Structure 1
Amino acid sequence: MFILVAVIVSQDVINTLLEHQLHHHKADFKKASAEEKLNLFNSLLKSYQEEVDNITKRAKYGENAFLNIYQKLYEAPDPYPALASSADQDLKLTELESDNRKMKLELDEFRTEAAHLKNQQATIRRLEERNRQLEQQMEEKVREIVEIKQRSLAEENQKTLELLKERERSLQDQLRQAKESVSNIQKLHESAQSQLFEFRAQSEEERAAKQSEVNLLMDEVERAQTRLLSLEREKGLLRSQLQSTNEDNENKESNYVDTSGILENSLIAKEKMISELNMELRNMETAISNEREQHMSEIKKLNALINEKDTALEGIKKELHERPSAKLVDDLRKKVKILQAVGYNSIESEDWEIATSGEEMSKLESLLLDKNRKMEHELTQLKMKLSEKAGLLEASEAKAAELNEKVNEQQKLIAKLEDDILKGYNAVDRRGALFNDWDLQETGISEVSENVDQKQGSSDQDQSSMLKVICNQRDRFRARLRETEEEVRQLKEKISVLTVELEKLRADNVKLYGKIRYVQDYNHEKLISRGPKKHAEDLESGFSSDVESKYKKMYEEDINPFAAFSKKERDQRYKDLGIRDKITLNSGRFILGNKFLAQLLLCRKNTEHNQMIFKVSLVRPDFYILLLHWPALPGLHMSVQDVRVKLPQAVMISPYAQARNMNCATMLFEEMPKKTTMSWNAMIASHAKSKEEVVEAITRMKAMKISPNGVTMATVISAYAHLGALKLKRELHLEMNQNGFDLNVYIGFALHSVSTGF
């Protein structure tokens, strides 16, 4: 079997070498001149003949080898029952061996325990007594601690209750004092108002009395002045009479002495009387001036009190003016009812006609209702525009998808045409060469050269005509492709514009819904419509149930603080990541988000895996069957020399790891003369079926003091990626950073993990 494979491989190598030689001869023959072609033609013909002979020999040898292998395989018995029975026996044997070892270990443990128990009965009793004493002590300590805690808690609760009661009392006292102060202030205000009214009445009465007294005094002064004037007149008359009498009766002095004495006495008495009256007049004037001053001071005091009371009254009036009046309250109630009617459309058409025909409807009501109807009309128009834009968007998306499909079909067609053209060129060259060979063998050198020239000319003409057709077709396809690309670009621009308009309309609708909610918040008193309720959805009846629920959800999401908080937390977590984690996360998202890249990466890994298996099968065919059952190999990049050294140990360990017999796998690993990380990778990767099993494998690796390298850690990361254990991957990532492993190895295997199903 191995000899056949070696012969086939050697023939393949010889064939490739002969093909290269033939290619060089052919190139030299084409480059040579006409005279040199005649000399080189024999060697070229011999090389072609040798190539044909080698191909026929290879074909015959391959057919014979295939028939021999088929005959031997046909005559050989079916190995499946024997292999199955041997595998079952191996499994049973391993299970029995493991059970036997466990039983032996348990028996040894039981024997040692029995011996220890016989020797340690007294110690056990002593320890039991000690344990009881310690338990009692612990119980007593626990009780004491619990009692102390309960007392402390009770004291703290009592203190807190007392503090709360004191605080409540103080608050009640403060409240009582505040109420008393308010009542006292009210009483003082009332008493001040009553005193103000009394002071005003008293001041008015005193003012009237003083005014009457002043009037009386003025009358008396006027009478005294009139009397004084009359007395002065009498005095002047008497003096004039006295002078006249003195002048007329100078001779009669003796006769009239008594009469003059009497007159003088009366005059003196009158003068005294006048002086007394003047004194009384001065006293009266001083008394009047004093009373005026006192009256003015009292008037000033009363004016100050009046001003204070006026300021207090003005403050009270301002408060009364600031407070809404009964009319304003009625107007506000009407406005609230109008807003409720506007928000819930609870006014029927009959009520609307009655309200508009009567005098009760104000301008504000009519304006609000008109505005509500206009807003509802605009809302219906926006809904219709939104539906139209959505239809246009869907149509443009469908058209863009169709155009993309057409572009893909045209690209496939172009690629197919290019492949067909290349195949046609190759077929034309081969046919021309074969035809030339047969003509040269039959007719000779001269005829062959002429036919070759003629056929080369005809083939050049055919090729030029075909090239023209293909170039024209290519130009047409390019023009169509440009047109389709332009249409796609225009459609993309339209889609972007429509999406922007759609977002704007959605935002406007959300704002409008918010305004409607604001209007609906005035629902302090529900308006009951007079007629039966109308459930029919009119175009001007506002939101329907579905649209209202949709925009309600959008409005609540817009004002939801938890969404903003979660977004903020997500951004903060992304900022807290390291550079490597960010690179890995972004690359993984990019690859998973792009379907073409994910498929391309998966195809690349599959091709590398197949190439590696093919190389290994060529070097060591006896390992080919074992490689197909070894799960650690697809995730590793290694050369053929590494496979020769490390593959047997990995193949020995991998079946035991797949059978969940980690004890046997560990024993084999310990018995190996050369412990390699490749074998441990095989065990870990084949054992990675759950998180617990992978953790068990890693703990075993740490217990055996195996220093992990980059390949081992990358294999474990790949296993964790298949299991979705992101936390364990991060821990291993940190361990790799601490041990200084290569970043490229980590990124390569992380991408492999992502592409294989993370």
Structure 2
Amino acid sequence: MTEANSKMVDSSVVLEKALHSWTIIDLSNLQKELDEKAIDIQDYQKESLVDRKELANQTKSFKKLEDEEKLEKFNTLLKSYQNVIDLMNKKTKNIENLFFKVYRSIAEAPDPKPLLKSSLDTLATVSELTKVKEENKILEEKLLKFADYDKLKEQIQTTETQMKTINDAELEAKDSEWKSLLEERESNWKKNEEELESLIESLRKDIQDREVNEKMLKLRLKKKSEALGEEYNEDAEEDNLVAKNEFGTDNVNNSLVESLKKDLESSKERVQSLQSRNEELRKNASLLNSKIDIEVKKTKKENDKQISNLESENSMLVAKLSHERKTSTKLNEEIKLINDKFNKEITQLHTDIDNLKKIKNERSDYKEIKKELELLKQIQFGDESDNSDTNNEFETDSVAKIESAIVQRNKKLNNDLIQLRRVNEESSKKIEDFSAKVEQLEKEIRVLKDTNVRLENDLINFEHTGNNNDDKWETMSMISSIAGTNNGKNNNNNRSVSPAASIAGGTDDNRSIIMGGGGNFSDSSLLPIITQQRDRFRNRNKELEEENKKHFSKIVELKREINSLKNDNRELYEKIRFLQYHQNAQNIQQNGGDIESRYKVDYEHDLHPIEQFRLMETKRINSKITPWDRIFIQVTKTVLSTPLTRWLFVAYCLSLHLLVMILTLSLMGGSANSTTTYQTSSSLASSGNTQNIDSKLL
């Protein structure tokens, strides 16, 4: 389930991304734009074919013309080629822009093929889903009807078990009745046996006692007979004793037996009555127990039935509740989906609104542009006097300002246009002159190439030929004179000539002489001149390279010195800033304001961002400080700026303290003297008064 959910989430995310990208692409508008551009491209193709045909015809006609006519019509053909090239460039630019626009819009878009396949699969599964949903609803309704199936099964099982338990209980009750009866009877029989055994034992004891008594009596009789001197007849005595004993015992036994019989009968009756009562009580108790068990089980059964009914009702209610919960969850999901759709639509609307607002803000000057356009139309067509309605609308000061600005702008544009036309005419004339010069130079280059080829051939053939030095020097003098004349002419014409041209005769006037006099000079005479010039050029190149190296080294040293000076100046500026921070910066700024302004930018640019922020914060805090606080801070800065001021301030404080201490001590000394004088005067006065009193008393 989790894998399926994750797959569903991934597919939904992919679909959302695809939808977002394709909404950005806006395929319908893009297709419209492409249709318009396709029409334009077709028009371009037609125009390009027409232009090519015209160019082909022009080139054919140009080839057929003579050289002088070619020079005249070369510029027109060039312009036509340039126009065609410009049109081709414009077409390519438009096509490139269109391509990049389409590429930018489609570059990040996902492949729609798998998405369309998945959508087709979803459409195929939607019909199956509807069928499955209908079947699911039918089955859910059936399930609601058979919701208490499990409970009914449980009830049947419980009833079966209860019936079994009731039958078992009844059987157990009957078994317990019979068992109780048997147990009672067995207990009664055991009691009777025990009583009889006790009687037998008591009778045995009586018999034993009587036998002992008999023996005792016999012994006594023997002793008495022996004492009387008579013979003791044991048999006779025994018979007499037996007869006496039998007679006495018979009487005693009869009375005892009768009493015992009576007791036994009464006890038997009592025992039987008690046994019958016990049996009845046992039966009643067992019956009561069985009835109680049966009633308990019946009540239990009834309670179980009620509980099962309640449980079945509860299960039905639970099933209904679960069904309602499922329906509510489905409804909530549908509501969420609808909310998501609405939210997406709202976000899209918000984005559209924002875009429209941006467009509106971008086109906020629409009315002003419209007014300017109408004014331009008025200026262009001269409808200022005719259109009274428009004049009524633009009578304000702003309109007047705009009109004046537009008129000035129009004048400037007209002047610029006239100047540009003049420049265009001059440039076209210059182009014609340059084209003529280019043709002349091309001709000269061809001639020089031919001479260069000849010189190379002469150099190759020099190894195989050898002539006298006189001929060489003659040729050298001849060539040098020719080169000198040619160089003079070239200098007069203000044209630069190459070394080969100077050797070979540079210009068209002398080239004919060299070409004509080539047969008179030997092929080997040119080689020493060329070798000397080569050596000279090499030496000169070496000298120039050395000078270049020296200059380069000087430049590097100067750059290093400049960098060091810049660093020194920065350090000096930092020191100045430090002094400005701790002192009054008026004198320093007056001395070198221009120099400081040059290095201020570099210093602030090289500062760390945190340092810049600190400086900004200090400036902000200083701007909020009151003037009294600023005066106090300035005074403290001036006092603590240099060690001399600090020591002066310390000396000043100490001198103040000493002065205050001296004053206090002097005041305290003066007050003590005054108190002593006052005390002496008061004591003298009191002594004088006492003397006067004593004298009066006397």
Does TM-score exceed 0.5, indicating one fold?
Answer: no
Highest relative contact order (Cα 8 Å, sep 6+), 1 or 2? 2
**Radius of gyration: which is bigger?**
2
- What is the TM-score when the length of structure 2 is the normalising length? 0.17
- What is the TM-score when the length of structure 1 is the normalising length? 0.16
